[in-house]
Structure 1
Amino acid sequence: MTMARFYVLEVPENDGVIKIARQDPANTVDSVGPYFRITAASPIVIDRRATGCRHAVWYSAVAGLEGSVITQHDKDALRVEAR
């Protein structure tokens, strides 16, 4: 099965992104070195306002993708889908 997967650096500024990712039971959040890895069988959608992130942090939160593509990354949401 193809999975959507992306990485976020484990720093306090990104805590809101991880908090919201963990609230969705479809997502799995684990640690890989200094990064959080967010994985799901369906598209991963993170609402920016729910994270409490300011725009500068929001647009720099994604540290990497694995077999995935960002299909939305704007002031409203981040959407990562399997490639």
Structure 2
Amino acid sequence: MTAIYVLDVPEFAPVAEAATGEDLSLTRRSGYFRVSSPGPISVRRADTDLVDAVWFSALSGGYAGALERFDGDLIRVVPDGR
């Protein structure tokens, strides 16, 4: 299982809205959106229109799984292989 926890504020809403993954689930919990999937979760920056400061702090709420990629173009969290 993978998850991305996105702060429930307007600036970060595009991250939750642009997330893609198999059987993706979006729930609101205690000031966060929890985006979860049994498989990988990806967010393409081009789908969010976020400025650098917001994009590079998009994971400040945390995540579950292994961070496979986080750069100026893509966030990808995959299941932890442990």
What's the TM-score once normalised by structure 2's chain length?
Answer: 0.86
Of all paired residues, the percent bearing the same amino acid is 33
Residue number among 13, 18, 22 corresponding to 2:11 in the alignment: 13
Residue number among 45, 49, 53 corresponding to 1:52 in the alignment: 49
Root-mean-square deviation (Å): 1.5
Q: Give runs of ≥4 in structure 1 deviating > 3 Å.
A: none
Report the secondary structure of 1:71's partner residue.
strand
**d(CA) in 2 for partners of 1:76, 1:32:** 27
Q: Deviations over 1:50-78 (max 9, x none)?
A: 11111110110111123x12110101100
More helix by share: 1
Q: Deviations over 1:2-23 (max 9, x none)?
A: x1112011111111111112x6
Instruction: Report the counterpart of residue 64 of structure 1 in structure 2.
Output: 62
**d(CA) in 2 for partners of 1:72, 1:24:** 15
Report the secondary structure of 2:53's partner residue.
helix
What's the TM-score once normalised by structure 1's chain length?
Answer: 0.86
Unaligned runs of 5+ in 1: none
Instruction: Report the counterpart of residue 37 of structure 1 in structure 2.
Output: 34
Report the secondary structure of 1:37's partner residue.
strand
Give the length in aligned residue pairs. 79
Distance 1:24 1:82, change over 3 A: closer
**d(CA) in 2 for partners of 1:56, 1:5:** 22
Instruction: Report the counterpart of residue 27 of structure 1 in structure 2.
Output: 24
